[in-house]
Amino acid sequence: MARKKKSISDLLITGIADKGKAVGRTESGEVVFVDNAVPGDIVDVLVFRKKKSLSQAAVTAYKKYSQDRVQAPCIHFGICGGCKWQHLSYESQLKHKQQTVKDSIRRIAKLVDDIVQPIIGCDNNLLYRNKLEYSFSTKRWITHEEASSGDILDHRGALGFHRAGFFDKIVEINQCLLQDDLTNQIRNYVRGYVLSHSYTFYDIKAHQGLMRNMIIRNTTDDQWMVIMIFGQNDMDKIMALLASLKSDFPQISSLNYVINEKMNDTIFDLEVINYAGAPYIVQALGLVKYRIGQKSFFQTNPTQAVKLFEVAARYAELTLDDNVYDLYTGLGSIALYISGRVRHVTGIEEIPEAIADANLNMAFNGIKNACFYTGDVKVLLNDDFVEKHGKADVIITDPPRAGMHEDVINTLLALKVPRLVYISCNPATQARDLALLSDIYEVLEVQPVDMFPHTHHIESVAKLKLKN
Ligand SMILES: C[S@@+](CC[C@H](N)C(=O)[O-])C[C@H]1O[C@@H](n2cnc3c(N)ncnc32)[C@H](O)[C@@H]1O
């Protein structure tokens, strides 16, 4: 017999946990994670999953709405998988991000949390992304309202973003507020064109259909790159669509296409063909001009990236005599950004394509005092490396969400670098690593930066100095 689901009444939502879920605690101490609620809400919930004293629950009734609630600006809010915090005021989003960093520093790093500086927010918390990846699908997400409306539904396919938790269902997007409005004009135009010319949408289960994905990138000075990804090699239709896009959108400075007949969506192993314009766009951050190619990785919020890099540079106390290592360098964006302020900078990154971009951008900017290596930091950063490149005065490290491998921490403890700057997109793993590093390094300050408004993502930079 199925067990009856437990309901909880009048649960006060007190915070936001990992992955952006709202969280409350019952009188008996049970921690309850809830979707579609914000701190300050009082809700009735139904528990649908329970593990020890942690429960996942869905709201059945809102008893009181939080004062921090606002009207979500996006028409697709609640259906589209992105920007889940739009119904929380931006001020309150920042407050919770700040608190998350403080909690990690206190509870995990076991340091005093007043080293955490007030978070640096985004001046423009909409239109901040420079890259959006749309998908076509034969399976359009149908909302409850549509399903129960009695209207005849349009099943011809959708172009937009994935419905959270569904790999095959796409939410039809008419207006996305994350990128300048030209993204909406181009996407809606393409949808109109393919519908009126009866092009097929991709069916991810059957792996058929012409229209598969579409990537739109832009720069802060209005250069636009479009990459159309087709699931079949139907050159007549492909050329007709590209010609139409080129003629109706002269703003597109780089128009490209790929034919992807593989099972997976990645285009890294495929040839991207330049149809019109240059095969790249150029984004300046500070004094450096980054050439962003069709497959390049790049910081997705360039305005905040400059603020983040400036915090890192300030925490590093750079001088023109400094020898710097930039670990997990990606396409060398931080290394190149600071290169004019130091004697030499060496970057390590495991993705060869990113290192190829780093080298290309180094040459593009005429930078002579940087070098880049492809490989695992855990393997490359050893005594031979230090002997070859000289002892570092400063190490900047920006690992992925999992934080640094224990071997890397041990190497950093053995290296005893005078100054260490730790950038992270995961306050919990950063705090775990800071606890280990604080054996010999003093953690002087931590600066949270909001790179992704309306999401739970938090970036934070820590300043460490070798203890005397
Ligand atoms: C948070 S990103 C850093 C981005 C970079 N600092 C920038 O501003 O573009 C982390 C980078 O570490 C790389 N990475 C992950 N694990 C690695 C490892 N074990 N060794 C070297 N690089 C690694 C990833 O490919 C990614 O580019």
224-233 pLDDT tens trace: 999 999 999 9
Half-sphere exposure of 450 (CA within 13 A, CB side): 25
* Residue 431 · residue 425 · CB < 8 Å: no
Is 0.95 surpassed by the pTM of this model? no
pLDDT, residue 49, reads 87
- With the most atoms of ligand 1 within 8 angstroms of its CB, the residue from 328, 331, 373, 423 to mutate is 328
Please give the number of the atom of ligand 1 that sits closest to the Cα of 334. 8
Output the residue whose Cα is nearest ligand 1's atom 5. 330
Matching fold, domains 91-124+300-466 and 131-285: no
Q: How far apart are CA 376 and CA 384, in angstroms?
A: 15
Which residues does ligand 1 sit against, CB inside 6 Å? 299, 328-331, 333-334, 348-351, 354, 376-378, 398-400, 425
**Identity of the amino acid at 128:** Y
pLDDT tens digits for 159-175?
A: 999 988 788 899 999 99
Residue with tokens 């230090």: 386
Which segments of 108-234 does DSSP mark as H helices, in order? 144-148, 182-196
* Residue 415 · residue 394 · CB < 8 Å: no
Please give the number of the atom of ligand 1 that sits closest to the Cα of 309. 8
Q: Collapsing DSSP states into helix, strand and coil, what is residue 21?
A: coil
Q: How far apart are CA 382 and CA 51, in angstroms?
A: 42
Q: Which residues of the chain have pLDDT under 50?
A: none
Q: Where are the domains of the chain?
A: 7-64, 91-124+300-466, 131-285
Output the residue whose Cα is nearest ligand 1's atom 27. 330
Pick the CATH number of 7-64 from 3.40.1360.10, 3.40.50.10860, 3.40.50.2300, 2.40.50.140: 2.40.50.140
Tell me how far the alpha carbon of residue 237 lies from the centroid of ligand 1, in angstroms: 39
Q: How far apart are CA 251 and CA 182, in angstroms?
A: 9
Please give the number of the atom of ligand 1 that sits closest to the Cα of 299. 9
* 48 CB-near residues (< 8 Å, 6+ apart): 5, 56, 57, 58
Output the residue whose Cα is nearest ligand 1's atom 2. 400
pLDDT, residue 50, reads 85
Q: How far apart are CA 411 and CA 128, in angstroms?
A: 37
By CB atoms closer than 10 A (0-12, 13-18, 19+), residue 229 is buried
Q: How far apart are CA 212 and CA 230, in angstroms?
A: 5
Output the residue whose Cα is nearest ligand 1's atom 20. 376
Tell me how far the alpha carbon of residue 148 lies from the centroid of ligand 1, in angstroms: 47
- Closest residue by Cα to residue 180 from 133, 220, 237, 121: 220
CA dihedral 148, 151, 152, 155 (to 10 degrees): -50
Tell me how far the alpha carbon of residue 386 lies from the centroid of ligand 1, in angstroms: 20
Q: Catalogue the active-site residues.
A: 425
Token output for 350: 């495991």
Output the residue whose Cα is nearest ligand 1's atom 15. 400
pLDDT tens digits for 284-322?
A: 999 999 999 998 889 999 999 999 999 999 999 999 999
Tell me how far the alpha carbon of residue 387 lies from the centroid of ligand 1, in angstroms: 23
Tell me how far the alpha carbon of residue 115 lies from the centroid of ligand 1, in angstroms: 26
Please give the number of the atom of ligand 1 that sits closest to the Cα of 328. 12
- Closest residue by Cα to residue 434 from 397, 468, 393: 397
Please give the number of the atom of ligand 1 that sits closest to the Cα of 305. 8
Please give the number of the atom of ligand 1 that sits closest to the Cα of 330. 27
Tell me how far the alpha carbon of residue 375 lies from the centroid of ligand 1, in angstroms: 10
- With the most atoms of ligand 1 within 8 angstroms of its CB, the residue from 130, 350, 433 to mutate is 350
For domain 131-285, the CATH architecture is Beta Barrel (2.40)
Output the residue whose Cα is nearest ligand 1's atom 12. 328
Torsional sign, CA 312, 313, 316, 322: positive
Tell me how far the alpha carbon of residue 294 lies from the centroid of ligand 1, in angstroms: 19
Token output for 213: 């994905």
Q: How far apart are CA 348 and CA 332, in angstroms?
A: 8
pLDDT, residue 3, reads 63
Tell me how far the alpha carbon of residue 253 lies from the centroid of ligand 1, in angstroms: 29
Pick the CATH number of 91-124+300-466 from 3.40.50.150, 3.40.630.40, 1.20.1250.20, 1.10.1270.20: 3.40.50.150
- With the most atoms of ligand 1 within 8 angstroms of its CB, the residue from 338, 349, 396, 451 to mutate is 349
